[in-house]
Chains A and B, each alone.
Chain A
């Protein structure tokens, strides 16, 4: 949202008066700006609300519906009907909260503000800035709650595990090295201690971060964040005290009649986002402890990974505690023999969304797709069962599953779907549930209608599993080669690309376009979540993609035998990107905002993305958003996020829906940083 904004305005013209009027403007040589685009319809009454919505979705900044003078309609009263209809459309658009101006917090409302018609305060007197800030803080709290609950499950499982010396607990410490590294960072003495004791102490430190009583900050923040950042957080008063507490306080502050100062609200938004950040970090670190730190692994991605001859089982959601177990069960001899009984040639487990990323980077389990592929996968008619945990599971999958033989299996007590089979997971019952799930899928194979199976023949090879540890290893055990490449310009900059799919953007087009533009300009890209699956689907995570990289970057990629887009994991693994940033900043001896780096979420959708974007900015990483968050209703909040915040954290949000333009903005920023650091351009 730079200066010199030129709105693109679409005008619907009725054939009889308005179109003639526009022609008359031409005949009279009346000049008007060229960013007005006409579309002729017979009557203004033809303008369907969906035309208006489509136009806004595709990038219109304003829409003008024109018709005959009232009382003079060629079709009696089409213009009158159009006027009435457009009033409703306006109201509807307001209600949809595209600008964040709908407050639904209390039952006096909903209050829909529209400064254009003079409605500038809610019934309780909150102005546009308060309404936008409150709803933004609630979004951050929602995102934080999702990650925090997920991470809690990992910490709690590690804690339960540490208390059982032996026996048949389904989980174990897979990566002792990682456990020790984490313990050391947290300041835990490990010499001579048993693994289970270290696990207990680490998990207690994590659990303590949720509900500590005293106003210190999180153990994990103290252990991982650079000193400079902690000082900034302290100065701003945004050091999170306890994860649950920040979420609770966010909800408290935003309820009726509490905090209405937009700046004060947004500061707490930053604090809640930081709580989110270190909750994600807990999830990443402890999941690595439980399941192993990812190492580069070859796999395939896209719907073509489904196999018509095998039992296809989709795992979808975010928590690896379940999906890892399902993969284990599916590869057991017992289950494989069952498949023979039903006439299948085996079991094919494929992932959707982030739980798919978790098993992709640890086992090379194929990725069927990212979040917008969940219904597509079912529509192949080849899925025996989809097993889900939580987050980003569209309720629509139930309706699609019903169209086929597919069984939908929910597993988490916090996420049930009417119509689905519910097999409830708990740490103790994980193996049983996993087995039952796989069995359900196998038994359902006989119900498949082969005539309705259509698996698109599209898939690409990819290499996944670039944890920070794996990257360091690929570099020969030290960051030095990477730093050298950054310094000499072989690697021009590093950009982390993350986030969802959003139907407002053609699926993956934002992700792929921005990645291609950047690597062509010698920028190394790395990322997580739905971006990483998008990049994998489009072949950008294969060695073949090295040829898409700029000449200088290509040399490095070929030497290291890595693709130009690095898969760092699921969306909680944004913490891996942050750790990489910390490591580079430390090695170069500068603060984060000085680095030639950028963050980008080209197709952001979820509340989680709002939290993630906010903590990246808080840590000094500029963040590009390809979709516009509902904040434009408040100039003040918009300015705080896109301009003023830079004075405090050294970074800001940049909104640019066009991925090519976004890429050039990012490249410009990198160029400036390189210049400031005195690096070659």
Chain B
């Protein structure tokens, strides 16, 4: 037990007028007088602006003068100035976790502007609750962890290779693991890229050469990850290569495992008629020069995508891919009629609309179909195919005899990705792709520290988007490795071992794998814990303690909310 826990709480309360923001509604002097009478409060005062340098000075001065060991500021939301007040406390020698805020602006004076009497009473309630909680606060320590300056990149497609190169160029050791015998991923199967018309190998080869020759990159092909244990800075990786185990230690992990094309078995004659193929199969025909000069080709978009359930998402790359492939067919065989059957054409961004116009100018026919009445693919006695479609712009049914029906299908997660999600304890979204920590604020981080995502493992993307995201992931991963140390979260769970009966409920509920059962007792792996408190809320024996939000602290607040102390 530390010194603070032994000392009786000596609370100082600083009630902020915030100019007239609080003081114009709440009777601040009355609140201060009330606060002075609360248990363990040895000092209370009001400030015009507690966040001003003068106000902060008063906090520090009062800590020394009244020997305060708890500080409460009743002012705005903790989401703005809590760090500021916390550091004032630290400067005066009070652990920052012994600081508490009562939000009497956003959640009091601003929302009860027309009832000053009630707002004043509520401010008292909020301060009484803060006192009840502050009395039970305990100092916390943020432990620092060393970070191994090396990274694991899983998947050596265009995203993985670029991420690996970025990190290696910054001087970090990179283990680049690929389950296939060769690198390149999906790009190896493609022919030409939109909108530049470059061949895939022109894009791929320089990257492959750079990866293979980089002294900081250890490329492990035909290798699969068997297990990953540990936490940010200290992951222990076990991989399997040609039946042999490979073990190494890394500080960060980038998931760049890519995706596979959805196989539309049973849709539009796929698997039934030889002429019904996917866009990827068409790319392979281009590569192998097997296309020839067909009379007509029909492409159908949104096959197996944008469905009411399951693959609800847009395939994103299909519109541009089909336009590109239609143009390639037209270029190689101007006599061939090319039709694109679309639901909605999404030629987004700065180059693709122009690309779309080019296709129309080249004589490619765009037919709008509706999902309620989708196209039908039939085989004629001659062996040729026939597509029947209701043209939603002409309001009529049309028939198109053709040689090939090319289906644009979306990318989907593969089995290996699902396995990896379980192994790394990082989540997949309802669409099956890896789910980032926050779509806007942390788009390449996982909620688990030290693990990042890029490329089509995250969602369907084209090459340039994959490469951009790879750079982003590499940049994020390099931060802890460059710092060499990370501070672990202080607001985490801990186990009261004498009470724990080892039922394991907490372990099952923890999405971060931060709890293990050892010797029939739960144990928290501190660096993995994110501090949500799910475990503490579920423990049947109350033996999980959520630091800084303990049962005692929350119940004291509840009690105080109803007048108890």
Q: How far is the CA of A22 from the CA of B108 in the complex (A)?
A: 10
- Chain B 110-133 interface residues, beta-carbon cutoff 8 Å to A: 110-115, 118-119, 121-122, 125-126, 129
By a CB distance below 8 angstroms, the chain A residues around B126 are 37-38
By a CB distance below 8 angstroms, the chain A residues around B106 are 22-23, 25-27
By a CB distance below 8 angstroms, the chain A residues around B111 are 25-26, 29-32
Given contacts A26-B107, A55-B558, A75-B511, contact A34 B532 (CB under 8 A): no
**A-contacting 9-mer, from B194-202, B299-307, B367-375, B546-554:** B546-554
Please give me the residue from chain B that is nearest to A75 by CB atom. Answer: B532
- Chain A 43-68 interface residues, beta-carbon cutoff 8 Å to B: 43, 45-51, 54-55, 58-60
**B-contacting 9-mer, from A76-84, A546-554, A670-678:** A76-84
By a CB distance below 8 angstroms, the chain B residues around A59 are 562-563
- Chain A 90-135 interface residues, beta-carbon cutoff 8 Å to B: none
The reply to whether B562 and A60 form a contact with Cβ atoms under 8 Å apart is yes
Q: How far is the CB of B79 from chain A (nearest CB, A)?
A: 6
By a CB distance below 8 angstroms, the chain B residues around A85 are 537-538
Asked if A8 lies at the interface with its beta carbon under 8 angstroms from chain B, I say yes
By a CB distance below 8 angstroms, the chain A residues around B107 are 22-23, 26, 38
The reply to whether A58 and B564 form a contact with Cβ atoms under 8 Å apart is yes
The reply to whether B558 and A41 form a contact with Cβ atoms under 8 Å apart is no
By a CB distance below 8 angstroms, the chain B residues around A41 are 533, 549, 554
Asked if B447 lies at the interface with its beta carbon under 8 angstroms from chain A, I say yes
The reply to whether B562 and A8 form a contact with Cβ atoms under 8 Å apart is yes
Q: How far is the CA of A33 from the CA of B114 in the complex (A)?
A: 10
Q: How far is the CA of A60 from the CA of B549 in the complex (A)?
A: 20
A39 CB contact (under 8 Å) in B439, B447, B531, B554 = B554
By a CB distance below 8 angstroms, the chain A residues around B455 are none
Given contacts A42-B491, A46-B532, A51-B558, contact A75 B447 (CB under 8 A): yes
Asked if A71 lies at the interface with its beta carbon under 8 angstroms from chain B, I say yes
Q: How far is the CB of A24 from chain B (nearest CB, A)?
A: 8
Given contacts A27-B106, A34-B118, A74-B447, contact A46 B533 (CB under 8 A): yes
Q: How far is the CA of A27 from the CA of B80 in the complex (A)?
A: 12
By a CB distance below 8 angstroms, the chain A residues around B119 are 34
Asked if A19 lies at the interface with its beta carbon under 8 angstroms from chain B, I say yes
Q: How far is the CA of A222 from the CA of B291 in the complex (A)?
A: 111
The reply to whether B447 and A43 form a contact with Cβ atoms under 8 Å apart is no
Asked if B468 lies at the interface with its beta carbon under 8 angstroms from chain A, I say no
Q: How far is the CA of A334 from the CA of B563 in the complex (A)?
A: 55
Question: What 0/1 pattern do residues 322 to 355 of B give for CB contact below 8 A with A?
Answer: 0000000000000000000000000000000000
- Chain B 402-449 interface residues, beta-carbon cutoff 8 Å to A: 427, 429-430, 435, 437-439, 447
The reply to whether A47 and B561 form a contact with Cβ atoms under 8 Å apart is no
Given contacts A23-B79, A34-B119, contact A43 B112 (CB under 8 A): no
Given contacts A23-B79, A39-B554, A58-B562, contact A29 B110 (CB under 8 A): yes
Q: How far is the CB of B156 from chain A (nearest CB, A)?
A: 28
Q: How far is the CA of A31 from the CA of B122 in the complex (A)?
A: 14
Asked if A20 lies at the interface with its beta carbon under 8 angstroms from chain B, I say yes
A45 CB contact (under 8 Å) in B537, B562, B564 = B537
Given contacts A41-B549, A42-B533, A75-B532, contact A26 B110 (CB under 8 A): yes
Q: How far is the CA of A305 from the CA of B427 in the complex (A)?
A: 63
Q: How far is the CA of A572 from the CA of B108 in the complex (A)?
A: 51
By a CB distance below 8 angstroms, the chain B residues around A42 are 491, 531-533, 549
The reply to whether A39 and B558 form a contact with Cβ atoms under 8 Å apart is yes
Q: How far is the CA of A66 from the CA of B316 in the complex (A)?
A: 34
The reply to whether B530 and A75 form a contact with Cβ atoms under 8 Å apart is yes
- Chain A 1-34 interface residues, beta-carbon cutoff 8 Å to B: 8, 10, 19-20, 22-23, 25-27, 29-34
By a CB distance below 8 angstroms, the chain B residues around A40 are 78
Q: How far is the CB of B117 from chain A (nearest CB, A)?
A: 9
Asked if B482 lies at the interface with its beta carbon under 8 angstroms from chain A, I say no
Q: How far is the CA of A35 from the CA of B108 in the complex (A)?
A: 11
Q: How far is the CB of B432 from chain A (nearest CB, A)?
A: 14
By a CB distance below 8 angstroms, the chain B residues around A22 are 106-107
The reply to whether B534 and A45 form a contact with Cβ atoms under 8 Å apart is yes
Q: How far is the CA of A45 from the CA of B427 in the complex (A)?
A: 17
Q: How far is the CA of A45 from the CA of B493 in the complex (A)?
A: 13
Asked if B103 lies at the interface with its beta carbon under 8 angstroms from chain A, I say yes
The reply to whether B559 and A54 form a contact with Cβ atoms under 8 Å apart is yes
B79, B435, B561 — which one has the most chain A CB atoms within 10 A of its CB? B561
The reply to whether A45 and B533 form a contact with Cβ atoms under 8 Å apart is yes
By a CB distance below 8 angstroms, the chain A residues around B536 are 46, 48
By a CB distance below 8 angstroms, the chain B residues around A72 are 439
Given contacts A23-B79, A46-B536, A51-B554, contact A29 B113 (CB under 8 A): yes
The reply to whether A39 and B533 form a contact with Cβ atoms under 8 Å apart is no
By a CB distance below 8 angstroms, the chain B residues around A8 are 561-562
Q: How far is the CA of A322 from the CA of B430 in the complex (A)?
A: 70
Q: How far is the CA of A35 from the CA of B122 in the complex (A)?
A: 8
Q: How far is the CA of A8 from the CA of B121 in the complex (A)?
A: 13
By a CB distance below 8 angstroms, the chain A residues around B77 are 19, 23, 26
By a CB distance below 8 angstroms, the chain B residues around A34 are 108, 112, 115, 118-119, 121-122
Please give me the residue from chain A that is nearest to B106 by CB atom. Answer: A26
Question: What 0/1 pattern do residues 495 to 517 of B give for CB contact below 8 A with A?
Answer: 00000000000000101100000
By a CB distance below 8 angstroms, the chain A residues around B557 are 39
The reply to whether A38 and B555 form a contact with Cβ atoms under 8 Å apart is no
Question: What 0/1 pattern do residues 59 to 91 of B give for CB contact below 8 A with A?
Answer: 000000000000000000111000000000000
Asked if B105 lies at the interface with its beta carbon under 8 angstroms from chain A, I say yes
By a CB distance below 8 angstroms, the chain A residues around B105 are 26
Q: How far is the CA of A335 from the CA of B6 in the complex (A)?
A: 50
By a CB distance below 8 angstroms, the chain B residues around A20 are 79
The reply to whether A58 and B559 form a contact with Cβ atoms under 8 Å apart is yes
Please give me the residue from chain A that is nearest to B426 by CB atom. Answer: A76
By a CB distance below 8 angstroms, the chain B residues around A29 are 110-111, 113
Q: How far is the CA of A12 from the CA of B106 in the complex (A)?
A: 16
By a CB distance below 8 angstroms, the chain B residues around A49 are 537
Q: How far is the CA of A26 from the CA of B126 in the complex (A)?
A: 15
The reply to whether A31 and B555 form a contact with Cβ atoms under 8 Å apart is no
Q: How far is the CA of A459 from the CA of B38 in the complex (A)?
A: 29
The reply to whether B509 and A71 form a contact with Cβ atoms under 8 Å apart is no
B546 CB contact (under 8 Å) in A23, A26, A46 = A46
Given contacts A34-B112, A46-B549, contact A58 B558 (CB under 8 A): yes
Given contacts A51-B555, A59-B562, A81-B509, contact A37 B125 (CB under 8 A): yes
Q: How far is the CA of A135 from the CA of B114 in the complex (A)?
A: 45
Q: How far is the CB of A369 from chain B (nearest CB, A)?
A: 23
Q: How far is the CB of A50 from chain B (nearest CB, A)?
A: 7
The reply to whether A78 and B532 form a contact with Cβ atoms under 8 Å apart is yes
By a CB distance below 8 angstroms, the chain A residues around B538 are 48, 85
Q: How far is the CB of A5 from chain B (nearest CB, A)?
A: 16
16 chain-A/chain-B pairs, Cβ below 8 angstroms: A23-B77, A26-B77, A29-B110, A34-B108, A34-B118, A37-B125, A37-B129, A38-B107, A38-B126, A43-B534, A45-B534, A55-B562, A58-B559, A60-B562, A75-B447, A75-B511
List the 9 shortest-distance A-B pairs measured between CB atoms, nearest first: A26-B106, A46-B533, A75-B532, A26-B110, A43-B532, A45-B534, A34-B118, A48-B537, A23-B106
Interface residues of B (CB under 8 A from A): 77-79, 103, 105-108, 110-115, 118-119, 121-122, 125-126, 129, 427, 429-430, 435, 437-439, 447, 491, 509, 511-512, 530-534, 536-538, 546, 549, 551, 554-555, 557-559, 561-564
**Besides the known contacts A29-B111, A32-B112, A46-B534, 13 further A-B residue pairs in the complex with CB atoms under 8 A apart:** A23-B77, A26-B105, A37-B125, A42-B532, A42-B533, A43-B534, A45-B533, A46-B536, A46-B546, A48-B551, A58-B562, A76-B447, A85-B537
